[in-house]
Amino acid sequence: MALATLCVLSGIAQDVRASAALKSADDYITLQAAKGSFRGAVLVGMNGKIMFEKGYGFANEEWAIPNSPNTEYRIFSMTKQFTGTCILLLEERGLLKVQDPVSRYVSDLPESWRPITLHQLLTHTSGIPNYPDMTPRAKEYDRLGATPREMLDVAATKPLEFRPGTKLNYSNTGYILLGMVIEKVSGESYADFLKKNIFDPLGMDHSGYDYQSRILKNRASGYSTREGQVTNAEGLRKQRTAW
């Protein structure tokens, strides 16, 4: 009985500490949201159980629609982890190797790009310029959207920034190339491959490829802050992204 009592008391103490920690976190995040330095949703899980979930700030400023645990968010460059996973899945299945040159899978590349390996693309060590930073044409694509090939053509107007494998510099262009490799090797669209090989098997029913034209229930609008004022974000179509 004494051991059982101690176990119960220990469990109660842990619950009290967890509740206090969650209350403290909620108070802090609420304050940050009020200051305009955070908006989104927070979920805390412990031992396979959801202990806390709450939305902060607005999903849509103009209609004063608050964020909730059900709000859908574009994740932009966090999509890269899924692209990398797809490449490794294809390698695991014997369909490619990360040390292969990208030119084995994508044709009509500049001569200097052809020896670049998939591994260098994955690790941002390819030297390929980051196309969104480059030209007025790239900024136009940010607004209007573009095909992967059109985005590559923008980046190809500039030389490599360094010899592949010698430095690290963040490059969205490299991940556009990796998406094209996934489509070439799998014979499926990037979106379909993600769904069939990652989202569906893992039960990620509220995740997917983000089509700008799609009517997606509960999708949050994007915002930036300029001179202390909230503004609508620009460049929502500049790269492949999931939600």
**Active site (catalytic) residues:** 77
Residue 116 CA to residue 128 CA, distance in Å, equals: 9
Question: By three-state DSSP, how is residue 123 classified?
Answer: coil
Q: Give yes or no for a contact between 167 and 128, defined as CB atoms under 8 angstroms apart.
A: no
Q: What angle do CA 70, 175, 134 make, to 5 degrees?
A: 105
Handedness of CA 62, 231, 81, 106 (dihedral sign): positive
Per DSSP, the residues of 179-210 read HHHHHHHHSS-HHHHHIIIIITTTT-TT--B-
Phi, psi of 52 (to 5 degrees): -160, 135
Q: Give yes or no for a contact between 181 and 96, defined as CB atoms under 8 angstroms apart.
A: yes
Residue 148 CA to residue 65 CA, distance in Å, equals: 34
Residues ≥6 apart with Cβ < 8 Å to 218: 59, 68, 70, 71, 72
Residues ≥6 apart with Cβ < 8 Å to 80: 175
